[in-house]
A and B are shown apart, each in its own frame.
Chain A
Amino acid sequence: MSAEGHAISQAELNRVREAIKGIEDGPRLLQVYMEICAKCGTCAEQCHLSRTDPDRCSNPAFRSDRVRRPYHIDHSMIGKLCTLAGMEKRDGLSEEALGEWLRDFYACTCCRRCAKFCPLGIDNSIITRKARSVLLSVGLIPTKLAATQNASEQYGNGEGISPSTFIDMTQFLEGELLEEHGVPIRIPVDQKADVLFVPPSGEILSFPETLMGCATFFHVAGISWTMSSEAFDAANFGFFTGDDQYMKRKNKVLHDACLKLGVKKLVIGECGHAYRVAKEVGGANFWGKIPYEVTSIFIIAADVLRRGGLKLDRDRNPEPVTYHDPCNFARSTGLTEEPRELLRACVREFREMTPNRDMNWCCGGGGGLAVLDGYEGVSKRTMSFHEFRMRRTGQMKLQQIRATGASYTAAPCANCKRQISQLMEYHKENVTVGGVLDLFDKAIVL
């Protein structure tokens, strides 16, 4: 459901007020964030959006104040007196204001770059996620994210692919792999194995080369692995929409598959937020002691690479390659070196972007923004979400990639891949966007 055509009743506004008031009971970080901002403007300097969009609605501190203001008015002396007197508080909450919330809190990509620079340690993404969950409590969510969540509830994956279609697709990719390498490389499905491999499902449709690269890697590394026809989507949009219940249900799909197949490792494919949710948010945090380890394809691949024995021909990837650090890898799970090790072993020329690693600029599509294209029912935006991503949020990334002169950008995240490949197309840059394992697949000598 969306803001336009969705009338917000007084009862719903009060529910929003209650939810904001509820921050006083924690979590602690959010509570502290309501009270300590010194309004120094540093976040606005370090946000890819506010740097390219002069509108004050794009300023992180201004946006976070949309939550802070009603919270403060409720807690201030004047606010308390108003409540006692039964008077209306001027907290700025209205149906129109919530439309602006929906627009602005989904313009934030939750990349956490502001948190790296804020002298007071304020991470605006935490306020953004809270605001999104408040919006959700009154049925406000961008239509496309809602559709993806609904598909996921029904099929276990955001694309709505059925198990039999998935098996067909893996068989098709096995055919492709045979053609490419001349040897049979299997993509096992629903088998007892040591490793359950789960990529974001969007990748299977839009970027199958990455999945093929992963299959080739497991093949040469001699790792006993499988995919699951029930759990082949590690993406978890509940993380974006602030829907904790959904996030837990989606994570359970992975958890159940791990138990069913008796694996020792759950390996998440090239997807930043999927890895973050599986490792830092879900897994043991949801289900207590778990009999499997949650790890990333990069960690096990770099481990195999370090042990030696892989024959890689770097000349098969002669074009200059750069690496985009997805926020959820670099800033939220600390995974920065492994993909670089792989790239250096697979390509002739690797070029760093500046800044990089934990200081990297967001692709401009994080936090679910990359999925949004049209107006998504969000009121009062002059341009579509697609234009907004191309002309505003993606600008810093565009400049960074241009400066490297690279002709391939490895962006190991479904969100980043979609955003950056559209960005290159929109600005007519001759840059291929793909994954890291895609290049491994080309470089490996079987």
Chain B
Amino acid sequence: MLTGRIVCQFMPYITLAVFVLGVVYRIGRWHRAGVSRIPLFPAPSSKTGKWVRIAGEILTFNNLKATDQALWMGTTLFHGALFLVLLGHARVVADLSLLREAEHSDWAGAFLGLALLFAGFFLLVRRVSLNRVRTVSSFEDYASIVLILAVVISGDLMRFSSQFDLAQSRDLFSALLLFREPAIPSAPFFTLHFFLSQVLIMYIPFSKFLHIPGVFYSKSILYQQ
């Protein structure tokens, strides 16, 4: 019970602070640094063209399509499923009629949870089995994917072990928001999933997960004519 209290009542504030301050610190440093012009041609001639291209590359991973079909499929599935799963988590926090009324919400969530697990394992197996990837992989690279897999597995266990009552998590988040003492959700695996997720969130500013904001910074300099 004490574990539940720590993870659900106190840790979220720490997580939020570490994440926000960490990201602001890291990205703030990027902003303070000078930018040197180093265009990679053919570069779009307008600012709009540049951002359209960056958006296209990030949404479709088309650079990879020409190189490594397997990686392209794996990473598209992984990032696509991750994005949709995060979107679906809006239901965990609040009662959004739009998502609730989506007929296949439960079915879609289950499918995406498994897809994410599959894609994550694919990336891990790829890292171990391909020589050119294994030789450049460090402890951090393995730790990152294992942490994500742990979050996904705990989430899937929670979903498939029993029906999770979303009212419990919504009460938890509204209590956290209003600084009230929350009721700790009783569902099995909830505490584990919530704990691992928070570890992952805190890890973002100090790891290669910085590639999420970073990709916009790098490409916007390279494609600037």
| Chain A residues with a Cβ under 8 A of chain B | 24-29, 31-33, 35-42, 44-46, 50, 54, 56, 59, 61-62, 65, 76, 112, 115-123, 126, 280, 285, 330-334, 358
Contacts and interface: CB of A to CB of B under 8 A. Distances in A.
Contacts of A35: 26, 208, 210-211, 214
A122 to B, nearest CB: 6
B133 A121 contact: no
- By DSSP majority rule, is chain B's interface helix, strand, loop, or mixed? helix
A38 B29 contact: no
Interface of B: 26, 29-43, 57, 61, 63-64, 66-68, 71, 75, 127, 130-133, 135-138, 141, 206, 208, 210-211, 214-215, 217-219, 221-222
21 contacts: A28-B31, A28-B33, A29-B35, A36-B214, A39-B127, A39-B136, A39-B137, A40-B71, A44-B132, A44-B133, A45-B68, A54-B131, A62-B135, A116-B40, A118-B63, A119-B57, A121-B219, A121-B222, A331-B40, A334-B42, A358-B42
Given A39-B133, A331-B40, A334-B43, 17 more contacts: A27-B35, A27-B36, A28-B35, A29-B36, A29-B217, A36-B215, A41-B68, A42-B63, A59-B136, A61-B136, A65-B136, A76-B206, A118-B63, A119-B64, A121-B222, A122-B218, A334-B41
A296 B49 CA distance: 26
Contacts of A333: 41
Nearest to A122: B218
Contact of A280 (B39, B67, B130, B215): B39
Contact of A29 (B42, B130, B221): B221
Contact of A120 (B39, B130, B211, B221): B211
Centre residue among A36, A44, A330 by max chain B CB count within 10 A: A36
A38 B208 contact: yes
A332 B39 CA distance: 6
B68 to A, nearest CB: 6
A37 B208 CA distance: 6
Q: A31, A40, A56 — which one has the most chain B CB atoms within 10 A of its CB?
A: A40
A117 B66 contact: yes
A56 B138 CA distance: 14
Given A42-B71, A45-B132, A120 B218 contact: yes
A332 B37 CA distance: 11
B30 A28 contact: yes
A24 B26 CA distance: 10
Nearest to B220: A121
Contacts of A27: 33-36
Contacts of A330: 41
Contact of A40 (B36, B75, B138): B75
Nearest to B64: A119
A107 to B, nearest CB: 16
A31 B30 contact: yes
Contact of B221 (A28, A59, A112, A331): A28
Nearest to A29: B221
A37 B215 CA distance: 10
Contacts of A331: 40-41
A32 B35 contact: no
B210 to A, nearest CB: 5
A289 B143 CA distance: 51
* Across the A-B interface, the 6 shortest Cβ-Cβ residue pairs: A26-B33, A334-B41, A36-B214, A121-B218, A41-B133, A36-B211
A32 B217 contact: yes
Contacts of B68: 41-42, 45
Given A35-B26, A116-B40, A119-B64, A56 B135 contact: yes
- Which of B37, B41, B132, B214 has the most A CB atoms < 10 Å from its CB? B132
B214 to A, nearest CB: 4
Report which residue of B34, B37, B136 has the largest number of chain A beta carbons within 10 angstroms of its beta carbon: B136
Contacts of A121: 215, 218-219, 222
A16 to B, nearest CB: 21
Contacts of B40: 112, 115-116, 123, 331-332
B169 to A, nearest CB: 31
B217 to A, nearest CB: 5
Nearest to A125: B38
A343 to B, nearest CB: 20
B204 to A, nearest CB: 11
Contacts of A123: 38, 40, 218, 222
Contact of B75 (A26, A76, A119, A122): A119
Given A116-B40, A120-B218, A24 B29 contact: yes
B57 to A, nearest CB: 7
Contacts of A116: 40, 63
B26 A29 contact: no
A28 B34 contact: yes
A29 B40 CA distance: 13
Given A25-B33, A31-B33, A117 B64 contact: yes
Contacts of B211: 35-38, 120
